[in-house]
Chains A and B, each alone.
Chain A
């Protein structure tokens, strides 16, 4: 059937472009058929529920539902921007995101490169397995353990400090230490986990390339620079763009557990703020508005990064 359609269209030059489209669609029909389940999934489970973000423009309450709740326009956004702590929340969120991007993002890459240089396979595998273990500990466990080790008055670290004749040195109740402590815990917990994807990408690099360069007498660092890194470049670019999409979404549980009266000035972020004012008080619409704002920032960043990477010869995502 599709064949006949194509031939008839071919006879009419006016419809040339359309017929080209039809020809492509027909030739690649299996590609599109394979795409259908995925499209259906995204419509059903992503785009239909996405209507829910509209409650950011309502005074939503569960009893009236989406249809019955009152529409209030940009009221919740105005409130967010007028919030005295808005600037502080934005600054803190951006700072932690920056730490995540500058330190948290490259760490798995460096680790993966280091692992890639290991020659003994068993050692490589054992280390891989060990460094991804912390990812499976919930933040509650991580933070509690950190507290007991470093903060607890007769704990290891404090006893050691005391044996040196120094005063108690607090990490968790010191605003200056909050960001370094936060990122160290993130690095400890998640950089091993992050290597998995890069190791998979590294597996795709042809060993012959290394052999050839070894023949040329290239040093190990040169090999890393000229072969290994280019081999995973597109993975790095894509992960970076994706990372920007949720750059303002910080791990709520982690920060919530570290947050206290002393470090709130630097540790309070949008997510903890929303928890305090929104979820505890049942202000769905306001929380959604804050989420929408964070999303818009993410969208702008992703679009920019995507455009930028295309400009520099990478494929980008879309």
Chain B
């Protein structure tokens, strides 16, 4: 085997000239055709009777190891959708690199996971590399039932290029140690002042009753949660007023929120290292009983904290407040989408076969089966359960958007998510791509993020913060606003 491989290699090495020509002259177009041809063989039977279709897909995993081909998740997915999946799993923290070499090589799988509005994908869309899906969606009833806000947020110039992975729209909320609240005889907060009072009480009134002054109010990491700004009515990054785009930091509401956070910091209610602490370190405070409040994506963290607390032998009680001051932010409603490159999906028939795969996931039978799968999984002992995060990566069914269980916690989370959804304020810029932001976005965001933290830490005052806002405008912020406004007008 090895020997043979070696022979082949040396033969190839003789073809240096070819490689050189390919790399330097970039006949990637020509190269692609051949490669794609061999790929297309996989779908040759595209959707016809006579065995299940094989779909090649590149996807990411967040868990320790990727799902196995013969593991529970892959088996279930293939059973429910009646396709063979040929997956390329990539660790989430290097997915970007893998995606860019794969795009450059021209040997794409039939389905790739990507942010449909990311700059490199948009270039691909504009040069016609990906199938536009709108003409075909009418044939697939279950692909028309996505949350319309999320779909709109994922479209490029009003056209659909990706099948989105649905996520809850509004997930940010105040998670509270319910037992501490009861110990101190306090109620769930509904206003920012009440949240503040609760934090003070948690920090000063010995909520765990151990007789020691060892608790604090709010846990935060890598800065602070933007959701706090929502309570004060600040826009979700951008708002549109008279056709102009206004960034949150320019509004007085945002400053109210910033002053609120500063007050928490000044009074020692928040972990003093919040600006640099790693989430793993900060979170320990919550499940080891040092802090009682966090503002995070509660649908994700409540189960996480419960499972952590139980590992520590703590019988905690976590509860979630209703949207504070009746306000909350909404996200895009999806996280990346599945796009089909034309070089790998040759014919409309092949495309339909792939769409059928996604459609089957969302059919009512599919939903029932996924629900059953998840309930069965939850009933198993923890060591035998599969990781839900793995399923989330290639699931386009809404079944994981809300907790499916019937426990009191699950119901509470569902209620809160619906309450959040009802009042969620979206970001009007989600669906627009500002060229200046594409080029300088990283720098621009950093200017504002740094200034906010420096303000909270007391290193700059309000004038200093305003100076940073001006610097941001000058560095390109104003231009981004103008570009967004122009796109909005169209």
Contact = CB atoms under 8 A, between A and B. Distances in A.
Q: Do chains A and B touch in the complex (CB under 8 A)?
A: yes
Interface of A: 40, 43-44, 48-49, 51-52, 61-69, 84-85, 144, 147-148, 151-153, 168, 172-173, 260-262, 264, 273, 276-277, 279-284
B276 A173 contact: yes
A172 B23 contact: no
Nearest to A273: B443
Given A52-B23, A260-B276, A67 B281 contact: no
B278 A63 contact: no
B159 interface: no
A66 B24 contact: yes
Contacts of B106: 65
A51 B24 contact: yes
Contact of B28 (A65, A172, A273, A282): A65
B243 to A, nearest CB: 27
B442 A280 contact: yes
Contacts of A273: 443
Interface string B2-30: 00000000000100100110011111110
Interface of B: 13, 16, 19-20, 23-29, 96, 100, 103-104, 106, 118-120, 123-124, 127, 129, 223, 271-273, 275-278, 280-281, 438-443, 446, 449-454, 457, 459, 475
A62 B16 contact: no
Closest 9 CB pairs of A and B: A67-B26, A66-B26, A65-B28, A62-B103, A276-B442, A65-B26, A261-B453, A261-B450, A282-B120
Given A152-B281, A262-B454, A168 B272 contact: yes
Contacts of B120: 61-62, 282
Contacts of B104: 62, 65
B113 to A, nearest CB: 15
A174 B29 CA distance: 52
Contacts of B96: 279
B24 A262 contact: no
Contacts of B29: 65, 67-68
Nearest to B438: A281
Contact of B13 (A40, A49, A261, A279): A40
A288 B100 CA distance: 14
A148 B282 CA distance: 11
Contacts of B273: 147, 151-153, 173
B435 to A, nearest CB: 11
A255 B96 CA distance: 21
B278 A144 contact: yes
Given A65-B26, A262-B454, A151 B446 contact: no
B443 to A, nearest CB: 6
Contacts of A260: 275-276, 453
Given A62-B104, A148-B281, 10 more contacts: A43-B16, A49-B23, A64-B26, A153-B272, A173-B275, A173-B457, A261-B223, A276-B442, A281-B439, A282-B100
Nearest to A62: B103
A69 to B, nearest CB: 8
B313 to A, nearest CB: 21
6 contacts: A65-B27, A66-B25, A153-B273, A262-B459, A281-B441, A282-B118
Contacts of A51: 20, 23-24
B28 A66 contact: yes
Nearest to A278: B442
Given A44-B13, A147-B277, A64 B103 contact: no
Nearest to B126: A63
Nearest to B437: A281
Nearest to A282: B120
Contacts of A40: 13
Given A44-B16, A173-B457, A262-B453, A63 B23 contact: no
A281 B24 contact: no
A96 B51 CA distance: 61
B469 to A, nearest CB: 15
A282 to B, nearest CB: 4
A84 B276 contact: no
Contacts of B459: 262
B467 to A, nearest CB: 14
B21 to A, nearest CB: 10
A55 B437 CA distance: 22
Contacts of B446: 264, 276
Contacts of A284: 100
A34 B280 CA distance: 53
Nearest to B128: A63
Contact of B443 (A52, A68, A148, A277): A277
A64 B439 contact: no
Contact of B127 (A44, A48, A63): A63
Contact of A66 (B23, B123, B441, B443): B23
Contact of A67 (B25, B272, B275): B25
A90 to B, nearest CB: 16
Residue from B120, B450, B453 having most chain A Cβ neighbours under 10 A:
B120
A239 B226 CA distance: 48
A144 B282 CA distance: 12
B74 to A, nearest CB: 29
Nearest to B454: A261
A251 B280 CA distance: 23
A280 B96 CA distance: 8
B454 to A, nearest CB: 6
A168 B28 CA distance: 58
Contacts of A65: 26-29, 104, 106
A144 B273 CA distance: 13
Residue from A264, A282, A284 having most chain B Cβ neighbours under 10 A:
A282
Contact of B119 (A144, A173, A282): A282
A85 B281 contact: no
Contacts of A282: 100, 118-120
A50 to B, nearest CB: 9
B257 to A, nearest CB: 17
Contacts of B277: 147
Contacts of B281: 144, 147-148, 152
A153 B271 contact: yes
A63 B443 contact: no
B371 to A, nearest CB: 37
A244 to B, nearest CB: 28
A40 B277 CA distance: 49
Contact of A261 (B441, B449, B475): B449
A71 to B, nearest CB: 12
Nearest to A51: B24
Given A48-B16, A144-B281, A262-B457, A62 B100 contact: yes
